[in-house]
Amino acid sequence: MKRESTDILICGGGLAGLVAACAFGHAGYSVCLVDPTAPVTNTNHEGADLRSTAFLQPAHALFQEIGLWEALAPFAVPLQTLRIVDTAGTPPQVRDERAFRSDEVGDQPFGWNFLNWLMRRELLRHLVGMAEVDLRFGTGFRSMLTRTNEAIVTLSDGSRLSAGLVIGADGRNSVVREAAGITVDTTRYGQKSLAFVATHAVPHHNVSTEIYHEGGPFTVVPLADIDGKPASAIVWMNAGRRSLDLAAMETDAFNREMTLRSAGLFGEMALASKRAVWPIITQRSDRLTAQRTALIAEAAHVLPPIGAQGLNTSLNDIAALLDAARASAAAPGSAEMLAAYEKARHSDIARRAHAIDLFNRVTRSGDVGLQNLRLAGLKVAHDFQPLRRGLMRAGMGPL
C-alpha cells in the first residue's frame, strides 16, 4: 500500500494546533492535523473550555497575516483598560488600585478577548473551507521514526504517514515530545486555578480587572451580557486544596465566597457556567526541536495564567515557525529551518517563564513583607510614567 505523505503533520487540535493549521495551510503547505478528541464547540457540552484568552497585539498581527482576523473580528471584545487592585485581610479589603490604559501607548487596544470554546468553533469553521488542510479528529499520534529527509509517523488507527515536519502541539503531556526524546523541567506551586463564567450586578465597562490577594489573582475578563446581566470570565487562583473545596461547593455558598473574594467590586456575583479546575505549573522543554520535529505551545512551555502570556507565547511560536519555513530554501522540517526556529524562540520563552514564575511567587504570598512589596511594586510600576509605558509595551509584545 502506498504511504500517504504531507508537508506538515500537526499533532494536537487545541487552540495552538488549530491556529498552526490555519497558518501553514494559508501559506500553501499541505497540512494534516490529528487529534484523538473532537473539539468541543458549545459552551454547554461536557469538556467545553470555559477559559477566555486575551489575544495581544502580536497575535492580532498573526491572525491578520494568515487571513483569520475577518472570521474572528465579530466575536472580539477589545481590551483597552487593565485595572489592578491590591487587597489584604479576611475578607479581602481594597488597599489600593491602579488602571493601565492602552491609549497611552498607541491607538490599538492591549488585545482582544475571546471565549476559548467559541474560538475553537470559529477556527474549525475556517479550517473546514481550506483545501490544504486535512483534519482527522478521532486519530492521534502514536509513534514516529525520523530520518534526514522525513518523519514516518504511526497514528492511533494503525495508518502511517510521511511528513517533512511533525509539529507537536499535543499539550503539556506531549507524546510527540517524548517520542522525540525531549525532556522537560517542571515547577509545581501547589496552586490550582478555577475558570468559569459569572454574572454580576455592577457593569464591567469593558475593563479587565485583576484583584490580588494571597493565593493568587482573581481575574475578571469582560464578556457580553448574559440574559441582560453584565457577565465576565473569571480565573481564580488559590492554594490547591482551597480551589478543590471551592469547585465542590454548593452554588449559593460559592457565590457568597466569590463576592467576598472580589472585594464587592462587582456587587453580587453569580456562577453562570460549570467550574473547571486547572493545576498551575511552569514547565519548559529543554529543546524545541529534534530531527524533523518542532514543539509549539504547551508541548513546549506551560506558564501560570498571569498577564495573558500562555497562548500568546504559543502564537509567537507559530509565527516564528512559519517565518523559519518561509525563509528556508528547503521544504519544511530541514535542519536549517529547525535551527532558525530554536534560535528565534528559546530565549524569549525562557525570559517569559522566569518573569511569570517570579511574579507568581511574590503576588500569591501570604507573607506580610511580600504583600507590602506587591503593593509597593504596583505603585512604582504605575506611577513612574516611563516604567508604566515600558511595562505596557513589554506585556503586549516581546519582553
Nearest approach in angstroms of CB 51 to ligand FAD is 4
| Cα(37)–Cα(57) distance, integer angstroms | 30
Q: Which three cell numbers stand for residue 181?
A: 526524546
Question: Counting contacts by CB under 6 A, is residue 222 touching ligand FAD?
Answer: no
Nearest to ligand FAD by Cβ — which residue? Answer: 14
Residue number with CB closer to ligand FAD (95 or 280): 280
Residue placing its CB nearer to ligand FAD in the complex, 293 or 312: 312
Using a CB cutoff of 8 Å and minimum separation of 24, what contacts does 219-225 make? 219/305, 220/262, 220/266, 221/52, 221/54, 221/79, 221/113, 222/77, 222/79, 222/113, 223/52, 223/77, 223/113, 223/115, 223/197, 224/77
What is the spatial distance between Cα 35 and Cα 45, in angstroms, rounded to a whole number?
18
Q: Based on the number of CB atoms within 10 Å of its own CB, is 226 exposed (0-12), middle (13-18) or buried (19 or more)?
A: middle
Residue linked to cell 519555513: 325
Q: Residue 230: helix, strand or coil by DSSP? A: strand
Say whether residue 199 binds ligand FAD (CB under 6 A): no
34 binds ligand FAD (CB under 6 A): yes
What is the nearest approach in angstroms of ligand FAD to the Cβ of residue 20? 9
Q: Which stretch binds ligand FAD (CB under 6 A): 200-208, 260-268, 304-312, 346-354?
A: 304-312
- Binders of ligand FAD in range 230-249 (CB under 6 A): 235
372 binds ligand FAD (CB under 6 A): no
Name the minimum Å distance from CB 47 to ligand FAD. Answer: 10
DSSP 232-246: EEEEEEEEHHHHHHH
| Cβ closest to ligand FAD, residue 171 vs residue 222 | 171
Q: For residue 35, state whether it binds ligand FAD (rule: CB under 6 A).
A: yes
CA atoms of 119 and 267, how far apart (whole Å): 29
Q: How far is the CB of 219 from ligand FAD (least distance, A)?
A: 8
Which three-class secondary structure state does DSSP give residue 174? coil
Using CB under 6 A as the binding rule, the residues of this chain from 48 to 67 that contact ligand FAD are 51, 53-54
Task: List residues near ligand FAD by CB under 6 A.
Answer: 11-17, 34-37, 51, 53-54, 140-141, 169-171, 175, 193, 195, 235, 278, 297-298, 305, 308-312, 314
